[in-house]
Structure formats: C-alpha cells, structure tokens
Structure 1
Amino acid sequence: MTLTVVAPRTLVQPDGPFVDAEPVRRHVRGLQAAGIGWRRVAELAGLSPSVLTRLLYGGNNVPPSRRVRRATAERILAVQIDIDSPAAGSLVDATGTRRRLQALVAIGWAQTWLAAELGLSSDEVGAILHTDRRVRGGTDRAVRALYEQWWDCPPPQETARQQAAASHSRKLATSYGWAPPMAWDDAALDDPDAVPDGLAEEQVDDVDEIAVELACEGKRRAAQLRPVDRDAAIRVLAAQGMSVTGIVKRLRTSAPTVQQVLAPTEANETGAPAEVGDAA
C-alpha cells in the first residue's frame, strides 16, 4: 500500500475560511479503514494530532468539529492511498472488492468462473461476496483488474450448461439485491456509504424459511441473508424471548439494525413508538 499526497479534492462549499467537516471526517475514516491510523494521517498532512482528535472525536464534552479551516481540510484531503498497489498481504476494506464481484455475478458470471480467474476456491469467492470485513490487498488488486476486463462483457452462453450457470447467477444476484456494473459510478464502488443507481426495485416478499431457520441456529449470519429473511430471523428470535444483544451476537449484525426491525412491532403493541432495549 502506497501513501501519496495529491491535489486535494474539490470542496463543494462556497469560498470562505471554513468548510463542512463531515466530508473531511469521512475521508479520514476511509484512510483508517485501509489501515492508516489518524496519527499517521496527521503526520502526512503536517498537522498536530490534536486537530485530528477534535475532528474525529471532539473532547472535553465537546462533539466532533462541525467545521474546519479550509486549509486544514485541503491538507487532510490531499492524503490519499494508491489503491492500485496495496501490499499483497495487507488488509484493505472489502467494500469495493465485494461490490465488484457482486456486480459481475449480476450480469451472469458464475462464482466458479470468478474463482478460476482469480486463482481462488469457489468457497473463498463466496465468502468475499458476503463479507463486510477486510480482504487481502492482493485479492483486492486481482478483483479490480478482473472487473475492468469483464464489467461490460456478459459471460459465454454457447452451451446449455453455460446458459444455466449464467441464469442462476443473475437470479442469485437479484435475490440478494446485488447491483450490476451499470448501476455504479466508479468512484462509488469503494464508498461504503454510496448506493447504486438505477437498480430495479424488485422486492422479493416470500421469506426463505430454510434460510431463516439456519440463521436462527447461528449457521448463517445477517450479511448472508436477503433483507426480508434477515428481518424475519430477527422477529423469530425476539419472539423466542432473545434480547437485542443476543440477536446481535446470533446473527452477527448490529444493534441499530435489530432495533429498527423490532421498533414497529413494539409501537404496534403499545400504541406508541417505543425504544427497543434488551429483554430482561
């Protein structure tokens, strides 16, 4: 992984001594996700560590900065990562890797084909398709290269077997809501907060009872479920008396996700919105 200093990103705020701190904060979070600590960011930007502390965490009962000096923002935004050459063994954020593979599946590329091209096992590709953690830099680089080759090329479908594999892949992507390449801007692929454009809103309302059962048994985590199945599993576990904390651990998801699913139920039962907490 190579750190570089480049021309700062264009700031959308009008001219003035201060700019919105949120884009700068997101940039630092992205650097942290790639393994670059905030102290190192401060060093590369030529700033005091206290500037990054206030930006990220605030201090002395003061919330994180809402605005920063334009010069400070430009210094921080100028610290970039050369994503084309991460060290093969380093760990990088999996967002872009996962989305690129999902996009290729969405246009029909089978998991086995992807695995063969990447020199990975089918199980390893399957894990990346559902991961919300990190991947090795070498894998990230290989997926980027493959995506550049295939993003606008559908898979071969000359034989019945090839046609079946492509059809199965497209259906799999639809069931999980994976966006095809044309739904993504290149820059958005690596942004955890970005959402795809133009994705058909085909909601699959039928719950996969088997998937829900596996999830409730701890054999499938939330990231491996369609949203409709994840929500069903949360409700089943809650109905069994499991606390929010227990559901989070069982499904390996977040407390806000569980609370969001259960909040409407709580509101319906009490007649008013209620804050969802752990069961006694």
Structure 2
Amino acid sequence: MTTKHARYARTLGHTATVTPDRAAHHIHHLRRNGMRDQHIAAAAHVSAPTIYRIARHHGPITRAVEQRILEVTAPAGSDTAGCTATLPAAGTCRRLRALVVQGYPPAIIAVRLGMPRGQVHDLLHARYGRVAVHVAVRVGQLYLEWWDRQAEQHVTAAAAAKARTLAASYGWSPAAAWDHIDDPSAQPDLGGTVSRVQAVVEDTAELVLEGLSREGIAVRLGIQWDAVRQAHRRAGVPLPVMYD
C-alpha cells in the first residue's frame, strides 16, 4: 500500500516530499497558456486550493503530486481555456472498464456520456495514450454516479449479463481492485492480505498528506466519499483532519 511504500522509502533515507518550485513553475506555464486552476486540478487529480498553494510556494509537496502536475500538458492555444489540455488515459480507461464489469453496456455508457460509440470503444481498449481533460472529467463524473449501483437499475438483466460477460472475456478489473486508479503503473489488486477497508483507511491518510480534498480523495480511490467514511467506521479509525 501507499503508506507502506512511504515508510519503506523513509527507512532508506528517501524523502517523500520536495519543494514546490518545479510544480509551481509548471503551473504558471499552464496558466500562461490559457489553463485555469480548475482545469489543472482536474488533470492532476488534486484540489484547486492545492494548485493555488503550490503556485504560491506554500510548503513542501509529495513527489506524487509534483509528478502529476508536471505531466499536465499545456493546451494548443490560449483561447481554448484549457479545453484541449490532456492527461494520461489510464484512469479513464479503467473507470470505463469498471462500469462494464458492473454490467453497463458500452453503448449505454456512450449514450449517457454523449460520446460516439467508437470513441468509448477506443477508450475501453486503451487506444489512446492521453485523453482530453473534459473527457476524463465526464467519465469520472459518470463513474462516481454508477460504480456502486446495480446496472439493472438502468438496463435489462440480459444486457447487464452480456456486459459482464464481455468484461470477463477481456479480464477487466472492477472498481474495488484499484487503489490508485489514475496511476498508469498501478496494478489491480484482486485480493491480498490487506483488506479493502484497511487499504482505504491507509490510502486516505496518505492522500490527505498530499493535500487532496474529499472529492479528490474519492476520485483517486475510485469510490464515493460516503464509502470512505464507512471504511473508517468499520476500521474504528477517525477520519484524518483536512485543510481544504
């Protein structure tokens, strides 16, 4: 888990945080090229207040946050207000796949997103290395709405069963398998010695240290905030203090 990795790094003398200088410089570059803070925040999966603090060089940040900010690509033109900014497509692909695992047919997902079926198909099959921020945001919003709901609320039982069969044939992973759904190097965890409840508790603590808001934490963990609260209640661990 993330916290275990952090502890191990500290035993080796590796620092988990860095100065905000590089990230702040890149944020100013993105701003000059037409991106607003909310677009940068969405692309880097942090809160808008976190972007503001980093831009003002307020305190150290984690290496993970720095890396995600540095990966945000500036838009092609300053008149687009960030609409052509992109980010790695891994998280969007995994969210769409998780919805199919849940029983949502790709065609229904495309209709709900207002996107061509071919585009959803290409995203599901990882045909893109990067995806536009506005597409990632739309997929993320639908994912948060549907990931823990039975697909039969929206489609027939036969259609849901067909979608689950399709997902199984490709070996796609459910939402609960991802601790860090937006990390391209992450691997799905389909079971292990650490319970999902404990994983949520540990990762929430780490993400709070990264400066993420409640919404940002929920997006990173791939679950709703109510599920984060429930995991802490089940584990008997208070929710960490947040500063946003």
- Give 1 or 2: higher helix fraction: 2
Tell me: higher relative CO, structure 1 or 2? Use CA pairs within 8 A at least 6 residues apart. 2
Higher Cα radius of gyration: 1
